[in-house]
Amino acid sequence: MKPGIKIKRWIFLGFIGMVLSVVGFIEIFSQVGESIAFKVLYLFLSLIGLLIMYIALSEFIKSFIALINNEKIKITITDKNIEDLVDEKRVHVGGPKIVVIGGGTGLSTMLRGLKLYTNNITAIVTVGDDGGGSGKLRADLGMLPPGDIRNCILALADTEPIMEDLLQYRFTEGTLKGQSFGNLFLAAMDGISDNFEAAVQKMSSVLAVTGKVLPVTLDDMKLIAELENGNIVEGESIIPDEVIKQKSKIKNLKIEPEKAKPLLDALMAISEADAIVMGPGSLYTSIIPNLLVEDIAECINKSDAIKIYISNVMTQPGETDDFTVSDHIKTLMKYSGKNSVEYVIANNGTIPKDIEERYLSEGSKLVELDYDNIKDLGVKVVETDLVKITKGYVKHDSEYLAQVLMTTVLDKKLLYDKKKIMEYMYVSKKIKNNKEK
């Protein structure tokens, strides 16, 4: 075997454990006249040996699977082989439980890539939006804003392109000008349902959604920002504009009602998750509002899941001006606690000069990856080029981001869960297949 592949050490350690166990048991049964103290000593030696053998075997299995995944050991496992062992749909349903918390276009963009790898997705979405078509429906019908929910449902839906185009269609004239047909569809569902949660589930069923989309609360939530100059700004849609207008950054964020009740399904999903993902998306107006809902942050901190923050590629005027990656994490931790982020997935790529200059003129720039400050926060960095230019705009590459995210979940979480070895190998195969396309 080649050095550095971490298998020989476990074989050697297992051999030592076996020798200790054998010697201990031989001494216990062969020395008839020995005192109780010696027998207890040899029993302890045997148990230590068994413990060492267990640790060695566990680590050997982990190392062996990692070598297969990294293709350092060639084992031919075709898709047909895996299907013969485990029914594909059951593996998906029993696969990684991913909870994604956020809102806006950043969340829905990532969900499109993530659904390629697992059906076990729960998107917990903010309901603080009060602008655009969602804001009008909120004011007119007294319903929760449907826009972010609609986008997440469509991102996870298994539907024809014509249906998505229809639901994303915005009217261009008349009293419905600027309104999305998808918002109206969800508003109609809300009208025939007991509550907004039931309406979301009905729409999800109609569109054959992979996983679940949940509003973080059913309370009529309003976002309130205190600026550094002492002024108070109410309403998600105007906070960034007021920050720019008043030239004063956000000092503190809160919601009304302060004790907004979370959905029980949301808390259950967080507590059972293999991974909890926050972002990408607007830090103050899409991600943090979810953390202000009662019990959400506490539940995240108590969860055994791997906790990942996906940093934005560009700073956002009126929210994260001049923020580095560590600034994003520190702000997130302020509202969710120090145990809420273990890993950050961050961009290390660049953008074309002309696009960079245009963004700078609009008050936005690439988010700096400041390694030392991130390390001081106790957060590990997963860095890669996440940039995708679409029609001159910088976005996350959703499919590649999903690959990076799932690889992180597999290597940092599922690799250490022996009950999910088959899921690990299956999803690894899916990642490799998508990389080869």
pLDDT in tens, 347-380: 999 999 999 999 999 999 999 999 999 999 999 9
Mean pLDDT in residue range 381-404? 92
With CA atoms as reference, report the closest residue to 244 among 85, 363, 121, 407: 363
Strands (E), 228-377: 232-234, 250-256, 275-278, 306-310, 343-347
CA distance 226 to 155: 33
The pLDDT score that the predictor gives to residue 227 is 97
The pLDDT score that the predictor gives to residue 33 is 60
DSSP 367: P
User: 18 and 53 in contact (C-beta within 8 Å)?
Assistant: yes
Tell me which of 93-102, 107-116, 129-138, 387-396 is least confident.
93-102
Mean pLDDT in residue range 318-336? 97
Tell me which of 16-20, 213-217, 332-336 is least confident.
16-20
CA distance 276 to 266: 12
Mean pLDDT in residue range 274-303? 96
DSSP 285: I
Tell me which of 61-75, 150-164, 270-284 is least confident.
61-75
**Per-residue confidence at 95, pLDDT binned at 50, 70, 90?**
low
405, two tokens:
């995210």
3-state class (DSSP) for residue 233: strand
User: Does the pLDDT of residue 419 top 70, yes or no?
Assistant: no
3-state class (DSSP) for residue 282: coil
Q: CA of 2: how far to CAs of 8, 79, 260, in Å?
A: 9, 29, 57
Q: φ, ψ for residue 312 (rounded to 5)?
A: -70, 155
Average per-residue pLDDT in the chain? 87
Mean pLDDT in residue range 283-289? 96
The pLDDT score that the predictor gives to residue 418 is 60
**Per-residue confidence at 250, pLDDT binned at 50, 70, 90?**
very high
The pLDDT score that the predictor gives to residue 294 is 97
With CA atoms as reference, report the closest residue to 277 among 306, 303, 312, 320: 306
Name which residue leads in pLDDT, 190 or 414: 190
Q: Where does 194-309 have alpha helices with state H?
A: 196-206, 239-246, 264-272, 288-291, 296-302
pLDDT digits (tens, 9 = 90+) for 172-229: 988 888 899 999 999 999 999 999 999 999 999 999 998 999 999 999 999 999 999 9
**Per-residue confidence at 92, pLDDT binned at 50, 70, 90?**
very low
User: Does the pLDDT of residue 245 top 50, yes or no?
Assistant: yes
Cα Rg for the chain, rounded, in angstroms? Answer: 26
The pLDDT score that the predictor gives to residue 77 is 46
User: Does the pLDDT of residue 85 top 80, yes or no?
Assistant: no
**Per-residue confidence at 40, pLDDT binned at 50, 70, 90?**
confident
CA distance 243 to 316: 11
User: 305 and 273 in contact (C-beta within 8 Å)?
Assistant: yes
Bond into 257 cis (ω within 30)? yes
With CA atoms as reference, report the closest residue to 148 among 119, 178, 111, 121: 111
44, two tokens:
């302890």
CA distance 82 to 63: 21
Which residues neighbour 181 within 8 Å (Cβ) at sequence distance 6 or greater? Answer: 166, 167, 168, 169, 170, 171
The pTM of the whole model exceeds 0.75: yes
User: 317 and 284 in contact (C-beta within 8 Å)?
Assistant: no
**Per-residue confidence at 84, pLDDT binned at 50, 70, 90?**
very low
The pLDDT score that the predictor gives to residue 88 is 47
User: Does the pLDDT of residue 81 top 70, yes or no?
Assistant: no
CA distance 237 to 394: 22
